[in-house]
Amino acid sequence: MNLRKLPALLAIVAMLASCGDSGTSGGGSSVTPTPAPTPTPTVAAGCSLRQRQDFALAALNEWYLFPTLMDQSANPANYTDVQGYIDALVAPARAQSKDRFFTYITSIAQENAFFNSGSSAGFGVRLAYDSTNRRLFVMEAFEGAPALAAGIDRGTEITAIGTSAGTMQTVSSLFASGGSQAVSDALGPSTAGTSRVLRIVNGATTSDVTVTKTDYTLTPVSSRYGAKVILDGTKKVGYVNLRTFIDTADPALRSAFANFKSQGVTEVIVDLRYNGGGLVSIAELFGDLLGGGRAGQVFDYTTFRVEKAAQYNTQKNFAAQTETITPTKIAFIGMAGTASASEMVMNEMRPYLGTNAALIGSNTYGKPVGQIAIDKTACDDRLRVIAFRTENANHQGDYYTGLASVMEKTCAAADDIFHPLGDANETSVKGALDFLAGRSCTAFTAQAGVQKAQAAQEANVLLMPMAPTPAQHETPGLF
């Protein structure tokens, strides 16, 4: 998640979805305080590997939420990059599932481009895989990007990948030789101009298509299915699917809720099944839009480590917005890729709705903490460091095993990729409608352990490379 933007002098806060290990998907957010945090002045200003590692150590020593869970004995000389050293420093916290690749180094320029406008380079799809059967599927395709224009959309299966028609490798053989990372590598780097030949299956039709990665802008609320009113019998139900918490989600969310309000909607489906997190400010706006009648009541508490608490701890109250509605029931669709800011919205609504709010789908990732951004500008280095935790009005948080461990109501439902998102017949949307209507559902509980354990229970795991781009950190499965 990203924390709300503090005063001008502080750094950027967010709750981001970040996962650095192959075969996992997750979410996180980062928050940045308002006088920009400054690492110890004795850190050298250069951009050698050691100077960049020293910068990371100084920032962690000042801001890391779990200072007693750092391995100060880690030797930077033993690591050939900055991220490897960071991973060693936070290994004790990771062993307790409190920092599952949430602290990482990334590019300032690339992350700013994504958060400000959703800009990134790629095919414009979100991919997931079935490791047991070695299959790769498209979970969704983004408007204005090359994949959708080539006939690739939700439910498309990719069975082979090559740089040309003569170099095609089957997805099954890639998984067999190198697991999910081999598939990520075969899809090529996230740079405009990278072309791949993809063998795709749509229903009974198999074809080979050449797709070239381009720079495109990810729309946070789809123009095709992102916001709509579904008729369940004669009852109007609002449906909103948010892909990621970035600045451009603000007008899209306001527009969706203005429509709900104009149609008298009081029951809502909030679909966050693939949303790995993003800006806290957008999560708080989402809360405001769902918070009719609660203006002035507590939405969330943000808590930093003891040394930073007096200056940075905050309380955010619901604020009335022109588009705010007063829902009587909310069905949140969430799955293993749901993390950080997405989980924050769900958790913060719990005190006010109780059993009138449900988690539909399966267990979420489990990231009740957020990052701040600390920059080493000369090197284009941005350190996203876990620096705060979030709690709801009842001071409830710490759902490191996922929200299924704390939600008062859960309803199991599959991710039915052969129906469009937002379709009343799609299994998870149907499950959400059943909950809202008071029809029966099957509850589920949190799986013990980290996301890999819970992901094993699901047919499709969002594909993540070992070294994700800033856009992939925030949008799990993005290629």
CATH at residue 346: 3.90.226.10
Q: Cβ distance 410 to 442 under 8 Å?
A: no
Please tell me whether residues 154 and 186 are part of one structural domain. Answer: yes
pLDDT band at 8, cuts 50/70/90?
very low
- Total of domains in the chain: 3
Please tell me whether residues 174 and 270 are part of one structural domain. Answer: no
Q: Which of 173, 189, 217 is the last residue of a domain?
A: 217
pLDDT of residue 92 exceeding 90: yes
Domain membership of residue 97 (yes or no) is yes
CATH at residue 190: 2.30.42.10
Q: How far is CA 347 from CA 199, 272, 357, in A?
A: 41, 13, 10
Please tell me whether residues 406 and 277 are part of one structural domain. Answer: yes
Q: How far apart are alpha carbons 365 and 99 in whole angstroms? A: 12
Nearest alpha-carbon partner for 358 in 299, 436, 293: 436
Q: How long, in residues, is the chain? A: 479
Domain membership of residue 438 (yes or no) is yes
pLDDT band at 143, cuts 50/70/90?
very high
Q: Cβ distance 12 to 1 under 8 Å?
A: no
Domain membership of residue 398 (yes or no) is yes
Poorest-pLDDT segment among 36-45, 304-313, 442-451? 36-45
The boundaries of the domain holding residue 327 are 227-368+389-447
- In 108-254, DSSP assigns E strands to 119-122, 125-130, 135-141, 157-162, 169-170, 195-202, 205-212, 214-217, 227-232, 235-241
Q: How far apart are alpha carbons 409 and 436 in whole angstroms? A: 12
Which H or E run includes 88?
helix 82-89
Domain membership of residue 260 (yes or no) is yes
Domain membership of residue 239 (yes or no) is yes
Which pLDDT does position 34 carry in this prediction?
Answer: 42
Q: Identify which has the larger pLDDT, 85 or 280.
A: 85
Nearest alpha-carbon partner for 26 in 347, 257, 231, 275: 275
Q: Cβ distance 159 to 201 under 8 Å?
A: yes
- Quote the crossing angle between the two packed helices 341-353 and 280-290, to the nearest 10°: 30
Burial class (CB in 10 A: 0-12, 13-18, 19+), 201: middle
**Which residue is it, tokens 């508490």?**
301
Please tell me whether residues 299 and 437 are part of one structural domain. Answer: yes
Q: What is the pLDDT of residues 13-61, one digit of tens each?
A: 566 544 433 232 333 334 434 444 544 445 668 999 999 999 999 999 9
Domain membership of residue 2 (yes or no) is no
**Which residue is it, tokens 């079935």?**
130
Please tell me whether residues 402 and 274 are part of one structural domain. Answer: yes
Please tell me whether residues 300 and 434 are part of one structural domain. Answer: yes
